[in-house]
Amino acid sequence: MRQGGPAQCGTPERALGITLLGGITRGTHHPSAARHEWPWRLLILDRDGADPKWILATVASPADVQPADPGDLFTGAQQAGDWVRGLLGRPHATLTPMTWAHVWRIDEHPS
């Protein structure tokens, strides 16, 4: 996943006025959470070879964003799964990796 900074000129995300998502990891304690209005809208490109698609998703509240440790993805994924199951009240939910996905946060920029 590309991170940080504005999208490059001439790309579809630039034409849509989208800022690339980079390292949202701290929920309400992360500086980006305080700077942005809720809900957040995300554009996800799932590059699955069998079923590629664009997905528009909504992050409803700061409680939907949790800290992450990119250096410990295995334990982090287990903890994230527990958090998701608890938040959704679905004890049997599983996480399916989207290893080829790219994600952008959609920001509005005044003209």
Q: Is residue 64 part of a domain?
A: yes
pLDDT per position as a tens digit, 54-99: 999 999 888 888 888 888 888 888 899 999 999 999 999 999 888 8
Q: Is residue 58 part of a domain?
A: yes
Cα 35 to Cα 53, 68, 93, distances in angstroms: 29, 19, 31
Q: Is residue 46 part of a domain?
A: yes
pLDDT per position as a tens digit, 48-63: 889 999 999 999 888 8
Domain range spanning residue 54?
A: 12-68+101-106
Q: Is residue 18 part of a domain?
A: yes
Question: Residue 35's pLDDT is what?
Answer: 62
Tokens of 101: 């996905």
| Total domains present in the chain | 1
Q: Which of the four pLDDT bands, split at 50, 70 and 90, describes residue 13?
A: very low
Q: Is residue 42 part of a domain?
A: yes
Q: Is residue 60 part of a domain?
A: yes
Answer whether residue 14 shows pLDDT above 80: no
C-alpha to C-alpha distance for 77 and 85, rounded to whole angstroms: 12
Q: Is residue 50 part of a domain?
A: yes
Q: Find tokens 């800022």 and name the residue.
A: 19
